[in-house]
Chains A and B, each alone.
Chain A
Amino acid sequence: MINSLFLISHSGDIFLEKHWKSVISRSVCDYFLEAKEKSGDPENVAPVLQTPHHYLISIYRGKLFFLSVTQTEVPPLFVIEFLHRVADTFQDYFGDCSEVVIKENTVTVYELLEEMLDNGFPLATESNVLKEMIRPPTILRSVVNTLTGGSNVGGTLPTGQLSNVPWRRAGVKYTNNEAYFDVIEEIDAILDKSGTTVFAEIQGVVEACVKLTGMPDLTLSFMNPRLLDDVSFHPCVRFKRWESERVLSFIPPDGNFRLMSYHVSSQNLVAIPVYVKQNISFLETGSCGRLDITIGPKQTMGKTVENLTVTIPMPKSVLSVNLTATQGTYTFDLTTKAVLWDVGKLNPQKLPNLRGSISIQTGAPKPEENPSINIDLKIQQLAISGLKVSRLDMYGEKYKPFKGVKYVTKAGKFQVRT
């Protein structure tokens, strides 16, 4: 199915290759590099390319291309999902998925790739199983290894591979039994000039950190599960029970994992936490423009908006800006022509405002398009969709675990048009 994998840096440098069937020459990547050259921006390279003898399917993650080569027709979703799984695994192992990190850990990377695919077919892709066969490098372990000559290759057969619950190893023991759940929501929204919502959607995830002894069977229920439109679960969740009772029933993997991700879409009303009053204009005559932005809280359910930053990518013909901010600081990046305004905490009594003039290259025509404003923010202790965990029950084990839930709302792709 998947013949070979090439890792290519965003500058077009092939720095790692792995073949599961016969060796395919690197020159096959030339087609890809050519397409990349043509598209200019590495983000714009089409994910599937056809060459005379192969198909090239690639994903772009962390400034890296994961390029897989297949000789026959394959289901594209399958390959793309698998490549993302590979990238996820690297992220999980090394804490980051970048060229430097992968080059540092090439030995581990090769071992991982060897275990993940056999003859081009996925073999072991569950991170828990992999972690038992190949231990992730940590600073402590690498120090110990250099002293004792140990290595990060597991010496035993992972028990998970034989148990009925492939994602959990048998015989887990903890002195403090605890289970934490983080509900993290990101708002993707596009607001138009007048402040009305063009499009809004919430993408949420429930991240779990479960450290429980034995084989616990957990049930997590929500106050308002009907809110969720499209959900996608960790394989441990029993889908039948979700469909019939709307509760999450599962035997958790050990440690950190993503329990579920979900969307709350425009069908339900999506609350927009802030409003933006803005006025950006370029004068027809003379080489200057004005900018005036005010931000205020809208639907925050009484919580404070924190870490508020505003990014405005200015047209290329803008030379400099002269602005004053009533709160926070602003910077203007001369190369990217972006104004970055770091507001900080949003105070509802005294709304932050940024105003001033923009100077444009003399002789340049009036910019065609007004810039759009991108907003980033964070609200602690609030899931903006209104989702609430009502209870967590544990069956199958005797002890009483410590439980906790945390909510965070962030801005994802939050954009205001001007």
Chain B
Amino acid sequence: MPYLSGKEMVKELRRALSNPNIQSDRLRYRNTVLKVIRAMSQGVDVSDLFSEMVKACATVDVVQKKLVYVFLCCYAHLNPELSLLVVNTLRKDCLDPNPMVRSLALRSMTNLRLSSLVEYVEQPLTAGLRDRAACVRRVAVLGWAKLHNLQPGSEIDGAVVNELYSLLRDPDPVVMVNCLRALEEVLKDEGGVVINKPITHHLLNRLKECDTWGQSEVLRVLQRYQPQSEDELFDILSLLDSSLVSPHPPVMAATLSLFLSLCSGLPAVSQAALERVRGPLLAACGSGSREMRFTALCHIQLLLRSIPGLLGEHYKRFFCSYAEPAYIKRRKMQVLVELVNDENVIMILDELKGYCTDVNTDTAQAAISAIGRIGRSYSDKCLEILTGLLGLKQDQITSAVVQTIRDLVWACPQCSDAVSSALEGCEEVLQDSQGRQALLWLLGAYGERISSAPYTLEAFIDGVRSETSMELKMELLTSTMRLFLCRPAETQDMLGRLLHYCIEEERDMCVRGQALLYYRLLQRGIGETRNVLQVRRSDPSIGVLIGRQAEPISQWVSSFNTLEPLQHCSVERLGGPAGLPAPGAEPSVTLSLSPPVTPEEFECLWMQQRDTIRCGAVPHCSPQSLHAAMQLVNIQTLAFTPSHTLPWKVFLYTHTLRADTSCSTLVLGELLYEVKVTLWQQPHDVSSLRVFLSVLTTVLHTLSSEVTIFQVGPELFA
């Protein structure tokens, strides 16, 4: 074909389509239509040919019909009036003796997606449900779902629903599965298709006939069924047993999901099921497709939450190979951390050590923090590796190591001695502000053991003018103050200089405020200062969290075989300083800090109205640690009253985001020392508020293990 521009091509094609000579020659006519389709798929706008193509539809040639239908479905929404003409031809085709033509016509008719045509489509669809050929019934059944999507608010025809229910008993398995799919969509508002005992048993008995797609679909729908007796439950389980070890990962995952939801009351059975799927899951982890491997890894992480020992001996399966993408490597390392036990710890650490110098910095950082995580249980070996890495003098590696060491020391204070000797000389290598902040924190917390601490801090203080990061300056202030408390003679002079600079010249209000606070604190005497700045070197609650208790399966079963495990953990950090429960502890609601709320907005909203909830005690702890702890769970503290005033108050805010409805609410709160929590929420949503409160109470719990916090009763939400 000669090269023609779009317009000329359309003109040429129109001439050809309306040429009676071509129209009378079947082959040439069909070829011209094929040319139109080809032009369409190359992005040429051929919508002008609509009326010619409608005429081309009236032919006995199946192939040509098929091509024309492709065209019509694409452009129907541009020409609703002309599409009316098509419907007539299509309706005639629905009576064709060839079942392929019938199904094709029905499918195209429903794919036109024009609500004006609904009345013409209904009759052939009803007829299609009773067609002799299975392939027509398959299309007709789904056609009703499409029709319903066109007019979502409309009344549902009871007769059609009944007919669809009766077609669940169709001899063709695809028709059966399509019926389920259609009913799910049509009855969405009523909670989907009703699954009762006869339907369940019918579906289960015919499970084997379906293809793998159909099987996973059926298994998913069956999750809604609650068996009435224990005998029935075990009947169902034994029917499902063989698909539990199905070689097709989607079927296996769907079966396991159903299995676990059925046996929620029988932990022993669920445990056995998990052990049975170990083989297929591991196979999926070694699958040729990297996306499949990734998904399997994410699901394995879920299983490990309940049975940590499930895969202990298979740890080698999770060693990374050179060419794997970074997202898989990161997951594999997270799994490896979970699998560590006394026998394999040396092998795993050796392996992780190899990844620390990976070219991809994300992978290297993940490996380093994985070693840090293992260090909570095997600190000596890990510290040896980490200090060895410091010797490489590479800025990114050093930064990651210093941050990891900070987190490690926070969790196990007993390794601080080894750390203090390793830190010398790091400051020259560190470039990024995160790493330097971690170093400053360590210097502040363990200053009395690091002989060079004052000199290192002095270098930082000398360079403070050219410093841009606000967080770093804050950290520097705190660290210098802490060091001053334990080594006053060496630090006094530089602290003076730092405070002077921060109060007189600093532009950033946060830094200036912090400096003023410290200045006034010092004026009140050293005893008071010591009280406030008392170094919290570790978090006592983490000791419990290290050997993480096996969670009950019900915690994660609802998110098994959904997209949730694939995304949530991707943002979850590998253990911050405080191992508080991840923000998404409650499956469907997450907290987030964006968009930020300014103090003015906060005040404005706060004045409107609020509910008061007595939450029992709010612990009195240092604002920094409260701030840090809250930030970990995505709650922002906006303001504190000075720590010695009573009543002591904290203002905070967060956003809740529900994964299922993706609606978000803003929560503002006031913590009143040992009295109450006042909350304000917009828009009102009880369940997300409850999640917020549970996260909040967990944080407060962790901060003050000695103070009891009362459970919030539901009547408070009324």
List A residues at the B interface (Cβ < 8 Å).
Answer: 1, 16, 21-22, 39, 41, 43-50, 52-53, 55, 57-60, 73-78, 80-84, 106-107, 110-111, 114, 118-119, 121-123, 125-126, 148-151, 153, 155-157, 161-162, 166, 188, 190, 198-199, 201, 203, 229-233, 235, 239-240, 243, 263, 265-266, 368-369, 372, 374, 413, 415, 417
Contact = CB atoms under 8 A, between A and B. Distances in A.
B383 to A, nearest CB: 21
B24 interface: no
A199 B139 CA distance: 50
B312 interface: no
B325 A43 contact: yes
B63 interface: yes
Interface stretch (B277-285, B399-407, B574-582): B277-285
Interface stretch (B227-235, B289-297, B615-623): B289-297
B21 to A, nearest CB: 14
A161 B392 contact: no
Contacts of B570: 46
B563 interface: yes
Interface in B555-579: 561-564, 566-567, 570
Given A41-B325, A84-B292, A123-B138, A107 B62 contact: no
Interface string B210-233: 011100110010000000000000
B321 interface: yes
Interface stretch (B121-129, B247-255, B333-341, B466-474): B247-255
Interface stretch (B27-35, B532-540, B683-691, B703-711): B27-35
Contacts of A84: 289, 291-292
Contacts of A203: 286, 288
Contact of B30 (A50, A57, A110, A149): A149
Contacts of A77: 249-250, 253, 284, 292, 295-296, 561
B319 A125 contact: no
A125 to B, nearest CB: 7
Give 5 closest A-B pairs by Cβ, nearest first: A149-B27, A230-B283, A232-B247, A106-B41, A157-B100
A81 B567 contact: no
Contacts of A162: 133-135
B349 to A, nearest CB: 13
Nearest to B219: A75
Contacts of B626: none
Nearest to A73: B562
A60 B562 CA distance: 21
Contact of B322 (A39, A41, A372): A372
B292 A118 contact: no
Interface string B24-65: 000110110010011001100000000000000000001100
Contacts of A60: 290-291
Where chain B touches its partner, the secondary structure class is helix
Contacts of A151: 30-31, 34, 63, 67
A78 B213 contact: yes
B562 A75 contact: yes
A155 B47 CA distance: 26
A76 B562 contact: yes
A41 B248 CA distance: 30
Contacts of B392: 368
Q: Which of A41, A45, A77, A199 has the most CB of B within 10 A?
A: A77
Given A59-B291, A118-B107, A232-B283, 6 more contacts: A81-B250, A107-B38, A118-B142, A121-B178, A199-B321, A203-B288
B512 interface: no
A52 B662 contact: yes
A362 B339 CA distance: 44
Which of A41, A83, A84, A149 has most chain B Cβ within 10 Å? A149
Contacts of B567: 48-50
Given A149-B27, A157-B135, A415 B321 contact: yes
A121 B289 CA distance: 22
B270 interface: no
Contacts of A198: 316, 319, 351
A99 to B, nearest CB: 14
B198 interface: no
Identify the interface centre among B212, B282, B291: most chain A CB within 10 Å of its CB: B291
A126 B174 CA distance: 13
B677 interface: no
B283 A78 contact: no
Contact of B286 (A21, A118, A201): A201
B641 interface: no
Given A114-B70, A125-B211, A153-B63, A75 B288 contact: no
B563 A368 contact: no
A265 B279 CA distance: 11
B354 interface: yes
Given A111-B70, A153-B66, A47 B316 contact: no
Contacts of B113: 22
A59 B288 CA distance: 12
Contact of B566 (A76, A123, A231, A368): A76
Nearest to B37: A107
B100 A21 contact: no
Contact of B295 (A47, A111, A126, A188): A47
B279 A75 contact: no
A76 B563 contact: yes
A75 B253 contact: yes
Interface string B1-37: 0000000000000000000000000011011001001
Contacts of B248: 81, 232
B42 to A, nearest CB: 7
Nearest to B363: A44
A149 B357 CA distance: 61
A43 B322 CA distance: 13
A46 B289 contact: no
B340 to A, nearest CB: 17
B381 interface: no
Nearest to B249: A77
B159 interface: no
Contacts of B305: none
Nearest to A47: B291
B99 interface: yes
B662 A161 contact: no
**Most-contacted residue by chain A among B27, B216, B283 (CB, 10 A):** B283
Contacts of B146: 21, 119
Contacts of A114: 70
Interface string B348-379: 00010010010110000000000000000000
B658 to A, nearest CB: 13
Contacts of A161: 134-135
B202 interface: no
Interface centre among A21, A75, A121, A232 (most CB of B within 10 A): A75
Nearest to A21: B149
Contacts of A46: 294, 327, 570
B323 interface: yes
A240 B220 CA distance: 24
Contacts of B30: 149, 151
A104 to B, nearest CB: 10
A203 B561 CA distance: 26
A364 to B, nearest CB: 14
A199 B295 contact: no
Contacts of A190: 319, 321
Nearest to B286: A263
A58 B294 CA distance: 12
Contacts of B421: none
A229 B135 contact: no
A80 B359 CA distance: 29
29 contacts: A21-B149, A39-B326, A43-B290, A47-B291, A47-B294, A59-B291, A83-B291, A84-B291, A107-B38, A110-B70, A114-B70, A118-B107, A118-B139, A121-B217, A122-B211, A123-B174, A126-B211, A157-B100, A166-B211, A188-B321, A232-B247, A233-B247, A235-B212, A239-B242, A239-B247, A265-B317, A266-B317, A372-B322, A415-B322
